[in-house]
């Protein structure tokens, strides 16, 4: 029999409202007792007495046994999550930056205090990838986990390639629809999918990697020349995070735009949708598809975690217990397309093999193989205006 959950929720934005919309249609053994919000003057759709700006109304209430954390401040989310777990309250979070940055410590706190932190809603919206990695693939050897993890950048790229919108116009539309923030760097700079990738890697491979150590580059330097090149080759560009096991028990992680052909299953993942491709030794290839953004899709993932807590569900981090532990590496060669302005950048990058090189007054590019560590070390130079880099099949 399920136990009753008495919930305190931090945040009542798009996801919080979406979660509440779903909960009120269900007959579940739970009660939301209090909401802690930042802006007390904002008009809400629920009675005013349910809202407060005082975190103690949740953290100090012994009747509340479950905390739902849906705020956008990673540092504040970390502080309240730690306190809640240590005080015996279970936590459900959708804060990918907080979890990616502190996952090893948070897992240890759960173990010590017997509490549970669940975060399905932090990775790929409505797609249940964390639970599948924990349960379905717990004894599976995974060759790679890759895909489209960010709905905002995918929406922009869909508009660019399917409707011939200029990048700036597609970004503005994404912002107008609420898919991208006023400062879109987290999404279009590849940081959001990087946080998600490090969480996925923890459950897929049993490794804890500081997201600061993972190479990420986004689509914000995408130019008309790159789009024209892709279309001439019948490619689309997608922002792709990749976790892949390589030789000698090592795993590489990186986030980079990628030219993909129509033969790739991710080719037709459009708009705010996400797609996760798992390549396994025994199960072979499996594909997960669903909404990666929006209040109701993400709210459904959060609710899945909440309802799992009624039965005392916890992540077991089974692959962390494997005696044949994997380690993180950046020593891996990938094939890239690089548009550049300064010839010296090509020399600094030290391509191991150059396959194609093109010169024109307004457009220079090189295609070749390069070590991931090299582009990681020179990220700041690659990411300057006038340059654009993408992986190429």
pLDDT digits (tens, 9 = 90+) for 297-310: 889 999 999 999 99
Fold of the CATH domain 330-393: Alpha-Beta Plaits (3.30.70)
CA distances from 347 to 366, 369, 370, 375 (A): 11, 13, 12, 12
Report the b/e string of 53-79 with b at 16+ CB within 10 A: eebebbbeeeebbbbbbbbeebebbbe
- What gap in Å lies between CA 196 and CA 241, rounded to an integer? 9
Mean of pLDDT over the chain: 94
In this prediction, what percent of the chain has a pLDDT beyond 90?
A: 81
pLDDT at 323 over 70: no
- Both ends of the chain: CA-CA distance in Å? 51
3-state secondary structure at position 88: coil
In this prediction, what percent of the chain has a pLDDT beyond 70?
A: 99
- What gap in Å lies between CA 95 and CA 146, rounded to an integer? 20
Residue holding tokens 């898919």?
179
Our answer to whether residue 196 is catalytic in this structure is yes
Helices (H), 87-190: 96-113, 129-135, 151-162, 167-176, 185-188
pTM over 0.85: yes
- What gap in Å lies between CA 190 and CA 193, rounded to an integer? 6
CATH 3.40.50.720 range(s) for the chain read: 5-128+296-316
Residue holding tokens 């070590």?
371
pLDDT at 355 over 80: yes
3-state secondary structure at position 5: strand
pLDDT at residue number 308? 95
pLDDT at residue number 127? 93
pLDDT at residue number 1? 55
Query: Which pLDDT tens digit goes with each residue over 1-43?
Result: 578 999 999 999 888 998 998 988 888 889 999 999 998 888 8
CATH 3.30.70.240 range(s) for the chain read: 330-393
pLDDT at 56 over 90: yes
pLDDT at residue number 380? 96
pLDDT at 316 over 80: yes
Tell me which of 196, 258, 291, 364 is the catalytic residue: 196
3-state secondary structure at position 373: helix
Across the range 225-246, mean pLDDT stands at: 97
Superfamily of domain 5-128+296-316: NAD(P)-binding Rossmann-like Domain (3.40.50.720)
pLDDT at residue number 147? 98
């Amino acid at each position: 029999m399920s136990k009753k959950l008495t919930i305190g929720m931090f945040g009542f934005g798009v996801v919080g409202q979406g979660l509440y919309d779903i909960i009120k249609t269900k007959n579940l053994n739970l009660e939301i007792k209090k909401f802690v919000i930042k802006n007390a003057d904002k008009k809400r759709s629920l009675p005013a007495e349910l809202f407060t700006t005082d975190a103690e109304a949740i953290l100090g209430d012994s009747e509340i046994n479950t905390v739902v954390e849906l705020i956008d401040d990673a540092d504040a989310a970390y502080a309240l999550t730690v306190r809640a777990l240590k005080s015996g309250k279970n936590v459900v979070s959708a804060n990918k930056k907080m979890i990616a940055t502190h996952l090893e410590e948070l897992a240890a706190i759960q173990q010590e205090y017997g509490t549970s932190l669940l975060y399905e809603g932090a990775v790929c919206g409505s797609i249940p990838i964390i639970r599948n990695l924990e349960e379905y693939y717990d004894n599976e050897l995974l060759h790679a986990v890759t895909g489209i993890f960010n709905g905002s950048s995918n929406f922009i790229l869909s508009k660019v390639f399917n409707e011939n919108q200029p990048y700036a116009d597609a970004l503005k539309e994404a912002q107008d629809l609420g898919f991208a923030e006023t400062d879109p760097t987290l999404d279009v700079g590849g940081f959001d999918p990087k946080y998600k990738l490090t969480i996925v890697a923890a459950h897929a491979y049993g490794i804890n990697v500081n997201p600061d150590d993972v190479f990420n580059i986004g689509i914000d330097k995408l130019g008309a020349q790159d789009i024209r090149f892709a279309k001439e080759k019948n490619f689309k560009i997608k922002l792709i995070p990749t976790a892949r096991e390589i030789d000698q028990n090592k795993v590489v992680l990186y986030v980079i735009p990628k030219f993909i052909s129509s033969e790739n299953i991710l080719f037709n993942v459009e708009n705010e949708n996400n797609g996760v491709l798992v390549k396994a030794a025994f199960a072979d290839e499996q594909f997960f598809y669903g909404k990666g953004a929006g209040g109701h899709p993400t709210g459904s993932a959060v609710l899945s975690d909440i309802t799992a807590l009624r039965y005392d569900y916890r992540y077991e981090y089974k692959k962390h217990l494997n005696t044949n532990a994997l380690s993180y590496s950046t020593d891996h060669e990938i094939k890239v397309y690089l548009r550049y302005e300064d010839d010296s950048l090509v020399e600094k990058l030290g391509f191991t093999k150059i396959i194609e090189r093109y010169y024109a007054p307004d457009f220079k590019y090189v295609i070749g193989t390069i070590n991931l560590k090299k582009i990681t070390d020179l990220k700041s130079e690659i990411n300057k205006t006038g340059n654009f880099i993408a992986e190429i099949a």
